[in-house]
Structure formats: structure tokens, C-alpha cells
Amino acid sequence: MHNTVKNLLEIQNSIKISLNKLNINNNPKIVAVSKTFKIDKILPLIEYGHNDYGENKVQEALEKWTDIKKINPKLRLHMIGKLQTNKVKFAVQIFDYIHSVDNEKLASKIVDEQNKIDKKIKIFLQVNIGDENQKSGINKNDLGKLVSFSEEIGLNVIGLMCIPPANNDPEYYFEEMKKLNKDFGFTELSMGMSSDYLKASIHSATYIRVGSSIFGQRS
């Protein structure tokens, strides 16, 4: 068994054990963050049957995944990085999910471009839950306006996404995101990475984004 498959199974098992101990019914999807890794490093996971992968650059995703998605139509590609409006036209061609929508201009552009190719991307709205100046994401106080706007233009928003402040215990922020998500009536919640996916799973994350714990450290 390839190391990446072994790592994925260990992560799935650790989540299951952790949630069972607390009697929590949750089974989050694992987005294997494959950014910067060559396809030969990813192939063992694809061959095993894992379908969700995360990239943060449109050009890299197009070059790496266009051919392989044609052969494997079940593969789901997640845009997890900041998306510029001038890249949306190409992003909607390759991605099935976008986790980083945080403004009306970007939301409108996605709707315009996906309508041209008759595709409906699943969208997460990114919340700057720690109110950090250097981070992308909409302030939680402005979230209601963006949710309403997204509904008006027909953007397919399925939930919220966050990256909590790095040096704080993320549980406070995960709990806040869980409440926000519920308040807006969303069923999907994207949060948790290699360092905190267990805590995110406990707080109702339905998608966790894990890279180094599966593929190893990036060079």
C-alpha cells in the first residue's frame, strides 16, 4: 500500500475514533490538498478511489488535472486559494467547488462564466473569522449581505469556509463558524487542515482540507 493511501486511511480512522468517543455523528469528506505535488505523487490515491483534491492556483490545476479528469469523471476538484476575477473564466472550466468566495464582484463573475458553459459550481463563502487584516474572507458582520446577494444572482452557495488565526486555539473559531453556518441554513462547512482537522471534525466540519499529513512536506 502506498504511503499516501496509508496516511489517508490513518486520518479517516483517527477522525472516526475521535468522534465515536464523543458520540458525535459526523463523517467529513477529506479534500487531499495536492497543490505543488506532481501527478505521479497523487495517482496512488486516485487509483485507490479517493475523489476530492484541492488546488490553489488555476494554471497549475488546468495543467495537472484537465486530462486526468476526462479519464476519471468522478474526480472533484476544489479551489481552496484566493481566486482573482481575471482567472474565473478558466477556474470554472476545471473546478467543481470553490471555497474562497468573499465579495460580490467575484460572485457575479463566477455566475457569468459558469452560465456560459452550463455548469453549476458548488460554492463556499470564505469568512475572515479572526478578523485578521492579512487574510482573505468577508467579515462576519457583512456576511448576511453577501449571502443575500449570492441568492439573488443564483450562486450555488452550499456553506461557509474559514482559516482560523494560526497561533490561537481554533476551537473557539470553529464553534463560531458552526453557529454561523447553522444560522444561515447551510449544510456544508469547510474548515480544518493538517494541524487541526480533528477539532474541526468535532465542530461539524463536513469538508476538511488536508495536505502535508497525506502527501508529506512540500519541498
Q: In the structure, what pLDDT confidence band is assigned to residue 205 with cuts at 50, 70 and 90?
A: very high
Residue 187 lies in a domain: yes
> What is the share, in percent, of the chain residues with pLDDT greater than 70?
99
Q: In the structure, what pLDDT confidence band is assigned to residue 108 with cuts at 50, 70 and 90?
A: very high
Residue 219 lies in a domain: no
pLDDT in tens, 131-159: 888 889 999 999 999 999 999 999 999 99
148 vs 4, 98, 129, 133, 144, CA distance in Å?
Answer: 41, 18, 19, 24, 6
Residue 74 lies in a domain: yes
Backbone angles phi, psi at 153, to 5 degrees: -90, -5
Residue 55 lies in a domain: yes
- Residue 86 has a pLDDT of 96
Give the relative orientation of helices 58-71 and 39-48 as an angle to the nearest 10 degrees.
40
Residue 172 lies in a domain: yes
Asked if residue 85 has pLDDT above 90, the reply is yes
Q: Give the cell for residue 4.
A: 499516501
**Domain of residue 166, residue span:** 3-19+27-214
- Residue 163 has a pLDDT of 94
Residue 12 lies in a domain: yes
CATH number at residue 100: 3.20.20.10
* Predicted structure pTM score: 0.95
- Domain total for the chain? 1
* Location of C-alpha cell 475514533: 17
CA dihedral 56, 58, 61, 66 (to 10 degrees): 150
